[in-house]
Amino acid sequence: MIALRPRSLDEMVRHLEGDPGLIPVAGCTDLMVRGPEALHRIDKVIDLLGIPELRGSRAVDGGLEIGAATTFTEIRSSAAVRAAFPALVEAAGQVGGWQIQNRATLGGNIANASPAGDSLPVLLALDAVVVVAGRKGQREIPYAEFHTGYRKTALEPGEIIVRVRLPHLPAGSIQSFRKVGTREAQAISKVVVALVGRVDSGRIAELRLAAGSVAPVPVRLRAAEEAVRGLPPEAEAANRAGSIAAQEVQPIDDVRSTAEYRRYVLERVVRRMVLGLVG
């Protein structure tokens, strides 16, 4: 039985190089649900929470970096994140109740790779870059390339996410976030949408739309974006973006909701968010 609690990123990477079978754990809010029987079968684990380089945010050239082991409570209370990326703060506040937010981490949300992950569409819409470390050293993966399939990521064995870089948005950018869950709080999303956009001279100059729970991975709604770039943020553009978005996703029926409902809601939420670009 091995249970390691490294104190620095270097120490962490050395352990992972030595044994790619080590299971990295952070907030454990997804992992521990498996229950005592399954957990007792884990025999190699390495803790990410004790590594200062993985926590907190710092300004970098052109953006903000958030450590992978930063909790959602920390994201919500970070002055830097609140100032630059309110959509991420909004998502962080809906990840679960207070108790979950105190433990669940941004890196964990990403690595868990659930298509319903609440922060994931925000990261997509913000053109995030995921910085990972492991035996190949550090490398950067554009978040848009990070999810390779249902619950599959671009992480190689022995790699962990160390930080997420969010490029600053141009002045005048608008961000919005909407989660439609099974109830008002402590809910898994049925549809979750993030928007980043900018209006210039009365027309949509920039638009990035991303959605979760409507496909095996979080997706950019590129066809919808294409269709309305250059139009005024009014009914026509909003309706068009909504209806195209609903067609470019592949939602399913599951225990929470139906494909039909997900398409309907996606269309209307996208429409509402595009109308919201008026500011």
Partner 1 sequence: MNGIGDSPPRPDGFAKVSGAARYVDDVSLPGMWHGATLRSPHPHARIRSIHWDPAKAPDGAVCVTVADLPGPNGVQLIDDGWPILADGFTLHVAEPVALVAAPTRLAARQALAAITVDYEPLDPVLSLEQAESLSPLYQLGMDTGDVEAALARADAVIEGEYRTGHQEHIYIECNGMIAWYEDDGALTVLGSMQCPYYVHKALTHGLGLPDDKVRVRASTVGGGFGGKEDFPSAIALHAALLARACGRPVKVVYDRHEDIIGTSKRHPAVVRHRTGVTRDGRLLGLDIEILMDGGAYATLSSVVLSRALLHSFGPYRCADVRIRGRVLRTHTTPNSAFRGFGAPQVEFALERQMDRIARTLGLDPLEIRMRNAVEPGDRLPTGQVLDASTSARLCLEEAERRTGFRERWKELEEARARRSEGSDGEPLRGIGLSLYFHGAGFTGNGERKMKSPVTARILEDGRIEVLTAMTDMGQGCVAVFPQIAAAAAGILPEDVTFAEPDTAEVPDSGPTVASRTTMIVGGLIARAVAELRDRVVSGREGASVRDGWIEGPDGSRERFREAALRLRQENGPVEVTLRHEPPEWQTFDESTYSGAAYPTYAWGADVVEVEVDPDTLAVRPIQVTAVCEVGRAIHKTLCAGQIEGGTLQALGWALMEEVKMQDGRYLNDRLATYIIPTIRDSPRIDVHLLEQAWEGGPFGAKGGGELPMDGGAPAAAQAIENATGIAVTAIPATPERLLEWQRSNQTVGDAG
Partner 2 sequence: MAEVESDRGGCRMTTSFLLNGQSIEAEGHPMERLLDVVREQLGLTGTKEGCGEGECGACTVLLDGEPVLSCLVPLFQCEGRRVETVEALAGRPDGPLRETLERFVATGGVQCGACTPGIVVTLAALLERNATPSREEAREALAGNLCRCTGYEGILRALLPALGPEDSKA
Give the interface with partner 1 as residue ranges (CB under 8 A).
33, 35-37, 40, 97, 180, 182-188, 235, 255-258, 260-261, 264-265, 268-269, 271-272, 275
> 98 φ, ψ to 5°?
-55, -40
Bridging pattern class, strands 147-149 and 152-153: antiparallel
Choice from 57, 70, 73, 114 touching partner 2 (CB under 8 A): 73
Q: Which does 61 bind (CB under 5 to 8 A by kind): partner 2, partner 1, none?
A: none
- Collapsing DSSP to helix, strand or coil, 273 comes out as helix
- Report the half-sphere exposure of 160 (CA within 13 A, side-chain side): 30
Q: Which two tokens stand for residue 52?
A: 């200062």
Quick check: 56 binds partner 2 (CB under 8 A)?
no
CA distance 45 to 39: 11
Quick check: 184 binds partner 2 (CB under 8 A)?
yes
Helix (H) or strand (E) holding 211: strand 203-212
Cβ atoms of 203 and 230 closer than 8 Å: yes
Q: Which is nearer to partner 1, 97 or 137 (CB)?
A: 97
Q: Which is nearer to partner 2, 49 or 154 (CB)?
A: 49
Q: Which does 243 bind (CB under 5 to 8 A by kind): partner 2, partner 1, none?
A: none
Residues 98-157 touching partner 2, rule: CB under 8 A, are 98-100, 102-103
Quick check: 47 binds partner 2 (CB under 8 A)?
yes
Residues 16-45 touching partner 2, rule: CB under 8 A, are 25, 28-29, 32-33, 35-36, 39-40, 42-43, 45
User: Nearest distance from residue 189's CB to partner 2, in Å?
Assistant: 15
Q: Which does 188 bind (CB under 5 to 8 A by kind): partner 2, partner 1, none?
A: partner 1
Choice from 186, 203, 222, 256 touching partner 2 (CB under 8 A): 186
Residues 240-279 touching partner 2, rule: CB under 8 A, are none
What DSSP line would sit under 86-126, residue for residue? HHHHHHHTTSSSHHHHTT-BHHHHHHHT-TT-SSHHHHHHT
Cβ atoms of 132 and 138 closer than 8 Å: yes
Cβ atoms of 166 and 66 closer than 8 Å: yes
Quick check: 171 binds partner 2 (CB under 8 A)?
no
Q: Which is nearer to partner 1, 94 or 175 (CB)?
A: 94
What DSSP line would sit under 122-154, residue for residue? HHHHTT-EEEEEETTEEEEEEGGGTEEETTEES
Q: Which residues bind partner 2 (CB under 8 A)?
A: 1-7, 25, 28-29, 32-33, 35-36, 39-40, 42-43, 45, 47, 49, 73, 96-100, 102-103, 184-186
